[in-house]
């Protein structure tokens, strides 16, 4: 069974041992494990869905909001997408051993800078069981071991998926302990995981600000936060308004419970009278609850728009709810985004290249879109096959956390007897 009953320290130690083997595994062996995982996902779809149905029916999931239930839910299409994501990861170039720099020093020493795995990655995540497979695929291909701590809501689903990853590793002759799933029963286990110095090389929490704050106070291992996404769409005065309507609705509605969904719509004052009534009606028709500033509410026509409170501008709704404001310029839009955003994904709709460049240069975010939806901030969409999350930090990775973000480098110096004088 994939869920371990051993201690956190013992689990991390087993992962460390496996990581040493996996770090030197051939690309062919790692790809064989990924091919086996994709095949097993397809062959075991029925069992995976049964486990997921058990999670959805469990009393622990009874009070989940609609957005979280959507994150928890698996379908045949979502399982098939997981298998496809694993195959895409297998098809990508192996980052391990990639030569980043190569030069000969004045001493005659040949110096190469090469990419190597980090070692043991720990990931803490909430109700999305597909993360189990995404993380396992990325770490296997990048030569790392992984320790997973999922949500109790998804315990059965995660167990079934982690078991498949472990079986696939064993089938390829690689250590199955390179994928570990911790027991989620003990809350104190989270703090213990965050203190596994010497065993865990990087901890990546995927979750809200509560999880982030909980880890900040206890973590002694390096942490890279896959943080919340309070994302904005700004419709500039020179926007194609039909395009802007489509982008605004897609960014909010296509999948509202994810971190790259837009939470705030900013409308330039120069086109607000023409644009606001139409886009508000579009969003309302799509089931979005709207909150606005005074200028937006004055332009809402027959569409109901509630009064936005100060805290609404900084809220990640993760559902069909959106704040809307009128701004007077690109500079005002940039200032609003930087004051309230989380550094995730921001979009401008405009035909004015100068405005686009001003917005792209000014907003402090991992991803900036010009005339496109924020929903594209995603490892699969970026050609990474999958992602562990989206980092809003600046060190050592930013944006989708793919294979290369799970590596570091070492210098390999080759001489012929040089001594330093």
pLDDT (mean) for 262-290 = 98
Domains and CATH numbers, the chain: 8-226+388-414 (3.40.605.10), 231-376 (3.40.309.10)
pLDDT band at 5 (very low <50, low <70, confident <90, very high): low
Cα dihedral 315, 264, 377, 396, rounded to 10, equals: -50
Lowest-confidence pick of 176-185, 228-237, 410-419: 176-185
**What mean pLDDT value characterizes the chain?**
94
pLDDT at 3 exceeding the cut of 90: no
pLDDT at 342 exceeding the cut of 70: yes
Residue 155: CA count within 13 A, CB half-sphere: 15
pLDDT of the residue at 286: 98
Return the structure tokens found at 133: 């497979």
| Percent of the chain whose pLDDT exceeds 70 | 97
CB count in 10 Å sphere of residue 249: 20
Q: How far is CA 82 from the centre of its chain?
A: 15
pLDDT (mean) for 286-313 = 97
pLDDT at 282 exceeding the cut of 60: yes
Cα–Cα–Cα angle for 269, 275, 276, nearest 5°?
Answer: 80
Lowest-confidence pick of 63-67, 189-193, 254-258: 63-67
pLDDT at 217 exceeding the cut of 50: yes
Q: Label residue 103 left, alpha or beta by phi (over 0 means left) and psi (-120 to 50 means alpha).
A: beta
pLDDT of the residue at 184: 66
pTM of this prediction? 0.86
pLDDT of the residue at 353: 98
Return the structure tokens found at 194: 């965050």
| Residues 6+ positions from 313 with CB-CB distance below 8 Å | 264, 323, 325, 336, 339, 340
Return the structure tokens found at 385: 């096959």
CB count in 10 Å sphere of residue 416: 7
pLDDT in tens, 124-181: 988 789 999 999 999 999 999 999 999 888 999 999 999 999 999 999 999 999 999 9
Rg, C-alpha atoms of the chain: 23
pLDDT of the residue at 186: 55
> For the residues of 227-286, what is the DSSP string, one character each?
----EEEEE-TT--HHHHHHHHHHHHHSSTTSTTSEEEEEEEHHHHHHHHHHHHHHHHHT
pLDDT at 231 exceeding the cut of 60: yes
Return the structure tokens found at 114: 């090469």
pLDDT (mean) for 78-96 = 95
pLDDT of the residue at 264: 98
DSSP, res 74: -
pLDDT of the residue at 2: 47
Return the structure tokens found at 44: 């075991």
Rounded distance, CA 350 to CA 117, Å? 41
pLDDT of the residue at 1: 42
Rounded distance, CA 408 to CA 27, Å? 18
pLDDT at 318 exceeding the cut of 60: yes
pLDDT (mean) for 201-216 = 84
Task: Tell me the three state secondary structure of residue 390.
Answer: strand
Phi, psi dihedral angles at 210 (to 5 degrees): -60, -45
pLDDT (mean) for 225-233 = 88
Task: Tell me the three state secondary structure of residue 327.
Answer: strand
pLDDT at 324 exceeding the cut of 90: yes
pLDDT of the residue at 66: 81
DSSP, res 44: T
- Cα→Cα distances 390→74, 123, 405, Å: 21, 13, 11
Contact 238, 270 (CB under 8 A): no
Rounded distance, CA 309 to CA 421, Å? 68
pLDDT of the residue at 4: 47
Residue with tokens 């701590």, as numbered in its chain:
149
pLDDT of the residue at 239: 98
DSSP, res 309: P
pLDDT (mean) for 284-290 = 98
pLDDT in tens, 343-365: 999 999 999 999 999 999 999 99
């Amino acid at each position: 069974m994939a869920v371990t009953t051993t201690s956190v320290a013992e689990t991390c130690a087993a992962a460390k041992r496996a990581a040493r083997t996996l770090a030197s595994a051939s690309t062919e062996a790692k790809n064989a494990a990924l091919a086996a995982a994709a095949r097993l996902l397809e062959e075991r779809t029925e069992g995976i869905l049964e486990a997921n149905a058990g999670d959805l029916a469990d009393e622990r999931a009874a009070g989940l909001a609609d957005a979280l239930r959507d994150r928890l839910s698996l379908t045949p299409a979502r399982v098939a997408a997981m298998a496809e994501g694993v195959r895409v990861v297998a098809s990508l170039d192996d980052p391990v051993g990639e030569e980043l720099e190569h030069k000969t020093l004045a001493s005659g020493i040949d110096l190469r800078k090469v990419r190597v795995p980090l070692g043991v990655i720990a990931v803490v995540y909430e109700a999305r069981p597909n993360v189990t497979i995404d993380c396992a695929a990325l770490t296997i291909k990048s030569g790392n071991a992984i320790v997973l701590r999922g949500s109790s809501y998804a315990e059965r689903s995660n167990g079934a998926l982690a078991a498949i990853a472990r079986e696939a590793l064993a089938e390829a002759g690689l250590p199955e302990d390179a994928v570990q799933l911790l027991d989620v029963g003990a809350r104190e286990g989270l703090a213990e995981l965050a203190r596994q110095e010497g065993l865990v090389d990087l901890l990546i929490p995927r979750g809200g600000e509560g999880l982030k704050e909980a880890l900040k106070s206890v973590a002694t291992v390096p942490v890279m936060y896959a943080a919340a996404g309070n994302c904005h769409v700004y419709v500039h005065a020179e926007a194609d308004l039909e395009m802007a309507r489509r982008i605004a609705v897609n960014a909010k509605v296509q999948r509202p419970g994810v971190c790259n969904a837009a939470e705030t719509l900013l409308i330039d004052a120069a086109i607000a009278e023409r644009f606001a009534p139409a886009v508000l009606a579009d969003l309302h028709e799509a089931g979005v609850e709207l909150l606005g500033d005074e200028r937006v509410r004055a332009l809402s026509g027959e569409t109901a728009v509630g009064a936005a409170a100060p805290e609404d501008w900084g809220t990640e709704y993760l559902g069909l709810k959106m704040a809307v404001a009128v701004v007077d310029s690109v500079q005002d839009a940039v200032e609003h985004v930087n004051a309230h955003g989380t550094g995730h994904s921001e979009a401008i709709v405009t035909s004015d290249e100068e405005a686009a460049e001003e917005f792209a240069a000014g907003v402090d975010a991992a991803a900036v879109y010009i005339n496109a939806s924020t929903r594209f901030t995603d490892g699969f969409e970026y050609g990474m096959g999958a992602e562990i999350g989206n980092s809003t930090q600046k060190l050592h990775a930013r944006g989708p956390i793919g294979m290369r973000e799970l590596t570091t480098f070492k210098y390999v110096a080759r001489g012929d007897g040089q001594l330093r004088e």
